[in-house]
Amino acid sequence: MKITKQRLKDIIKEEMDAMTGAKRLGPDIDKVPEREKEEDFSREGGTPLERLLNKLLIRVEVDRFESAEEAAEWLGVDETDEELMDYLRKVMDDSFLAPMEEDR
């Protein structure tokens, strides 16, 4: 499966947005204001399955690089964005997302 660099950037941004939104939840969840209108998660990959598929697509594309810095350079993203770099490192280091070796 092939995806474009732009789509991969969009997926990473969507995952980062999803992660950032989750930070507000926790013990103070009752203090979170109600949403004024229903959010559209169709583009963001709102279901757990969609988020997993997004991570797998990212992993497939960045797996050829030795480091997150090389992947960021290929993607044309700012390497000084620590949150993004941490996310790339996490995806690249996650053994669950690693390709399976085929028996031949």
Q: How confident is the model at residue 21 (pLDDT cuts 50, 70, 90)?
A: low
pLDDT surpasses 60 at 83: yes
How do residues 46-75 score in pLDDT, each as one tens digit? 788 888 888 888 888 888 999 999 999 998
Domain count for the chain, please give it: 1
Is 29 domain-assigned? no
Give Cα 42 distance to the centre of its chain: 15
Q: Look up the domain containing 67 and give its range.
A: 5-23+44-94
CB 51 within 8 A of CB 18: yes
Is residue 104 a part of any domain in this protein? Answer: no
Instruction: Check: CB of residue 48 under 8 Å from CB of residue 38.
Output: no
Q: Is residue 59 part of a domain?
A: yes
SS3 per-residue string spanning 12-58? HHHHHHHHHHHCCCCCCHHHCCCCCCCCCCCCCCCCHHHHHHHHHHH
With respect to residue 38, please indicate whether it lies within any of the assigned structural domains. Answer: no
Chain-wide mean pLDDT for the chain? Answer: 76
Q: Does some domain include residue 54?
A: yes
* Residue 12 in domain: yes
Which residue's structure tokens are 């709102």? Answer: 46
**69 with 85: CB under 8 angstroms?**
yes
- Residue 55's pLDDT is 85
